Amino acid sequence: MKPPRFAEVLLESLGAEASFLEPLLGDLAERFALRVERDGVGAARRWYYRESVRATPHLLGDWRRSLRAPDIRHLAGVMLSSFFFTMTLLFLAAELAAGAASAMEFSPRALSAPLLPALWVLIGVTCTVMGGYIAAWLDRRAPLVSAVALGLTWSCSATAIGGLTRGNGALAWYWVCAPVILAVGPIVGGVLRLRAVARTGGLR
């Protein structure tokens, strides 16, 4: 009986060095096998997820300790690439939607008041999830760290822009929703990428 693959991939995605990660994953797998015999599969899986959460800060600590200048450059490159990748896809989708709307002689202004913000939120969520997915796809060493870093960067930028422009006439909900969506979306995208990785094998 093997430990939950998704939890293992999540732990692998935090960028810890192999010398730290591999013995830790081995220890968890060894204890998981004992717990399956003693407590059953369900309890052993719950135990594994709980231990994974407890191991997370230590794996992140190891990633931070082993961080060197090339790793930081790589992380910045991944974030920039995923940003431009997402913007390009968004631009193409907007062009397609505009083309379709014009062919159907439909104006977005015709949308009722609650529909238009909902449309913006939907576009925002899709783009940010896609951005996180792309960041996790581009970074093989620490995919989840890249997705989280992207989310935090986007969220902080949106908050800073909102603060500097004092909202610039936008509605209050936008300045509340935008940083949350920008922070959470990429993390969800990163996790979705890791689910796909867990189904097909693993990161390492």
Partner 1 sequence: MANSVPGSLELSVLLAVARLGEGSYGLTIRDDVSERTGHDYSVGAVYTTLQRLEEKRLVSSRISDPVPIRGGRSRREFKVTAAGDRALRDARRVAASVWAGVGANNRPEPAR
Positions that interact with partner 1 (CB under 8 A): 2-3, 19-20, 22-31, 33, 51, 54-59, 61-62
- Nearest distance in Å: CB 51, partner 1: 6
Only one residue has tokens 């907007």, namely: 94
Using alpha carbons only, give the angle 49, 68, 150 rounded to the nearest 5 degrees. 55
Instruction: Indicate the residue among 16 and 158 with the shorter CB distance to partner 1.
Output: 16
- Nearest distance in Å: CB 26, partner 1: 3
- Nearest distance in Å: CB 202, partner 1: 11
- Nearest distance in Å: CB 57, partner 1: 7
Instruction: Indicate the residue among 19 and 165 with the shorter CB distance to partner 1.
Output: 19
Instruction: Indicate the residue among 6 and 85 with the shorter CB distance to partner 1.
Output: 6
Instruction: Indicate the residue among 31 and 74 with the shorter CB distance to partner 1.
Output: 31
C-alpha–C-alpha distance, residues 151 and 140, integer Å: 18
What b/e string do you get for 16-53 counting C-beta neighbours within 10 Å, with b at 16 or more?
A: beeebbeebbeebeeebeebbeeeeeeebbebbeebbe
What b/e string do you get for 116-141 counting C-beta neighbours within 10 Å, with b at 16 or more?
A: eeeeeeeebbbbbbbbbbbbbbbbeb
Burial class of 81 by CB neighbour count within 10 A (0 to 12, 13 to 18, 19+): middle
- Nearest distance in Å: CB 55, partner 1: 4
